Amino acid sequence: MKNTDFTEQWTAMQKTFLPTSAISAPVRDNAQRFWENQDKVLDSMQVLANTWFERRHTGTRKAREAAERMCETHTFVDLIQAYQDWAGGAFERIMADGLTCQQQIMAITGALASPPLAPTATEKEVDLRRSESRAPTRSKTT
């Protein structure tokens, strides 16, 4: 019967195809940064959605309260005052929507702005050397 030790085979394959050279650390770091950024985006979007729903519930409750007050008024002035109170609060909530959305969008784009697979310092040095070697040299002529 033939001995099949998959652990040894797997270890040998890892050494062959997944070297633990200088490449693996930057790849690991980039992958980690990518998924951390994904979490940041999802967290920001969840906050945006939750706060939006909270403001909608507040708006609905305030509109219902305003409608009840307007129905209970006995004068036209009281009716207008109840409406103005509600309208002022609605305007404040609209402004809060704009500010909150803007802040959350900035947080989302900030997380997306950092590249998921950023070049490492070593890769940047290699690119710099390549570009310097390709740059035409100017000869001094008079």
Query: What are the tokens at 123?
Result: 């890769």
pLDDT given for residue 9 in this prediction = 82
pLDDT given for residue 103 in this prediction = 73
124 found inside a domain: no
139 found inside a domain: no
Local mean pLDDT, 10-residue blocks, the chain (142 residues)? 73 72 75 90 89 90 93 92 90 80 71 57 60 58 52
Contact 59, 92 (CB under 8 A): no
Number of structural domains, the chain?
1
User: pTM of the prediction?
Assistant: 0.51
pLDDT given for residue 115 in this prediction = 55
66 found inside a domain: yes
Q: Tell me which residue range forms the domain holding 54.
A: 24-111
pLDDT given for residue 98 in this prediction = 78
130 found inside a domain: no
128 found inside a domain: no
pLDDT given for residue 64 in this prediction = 94
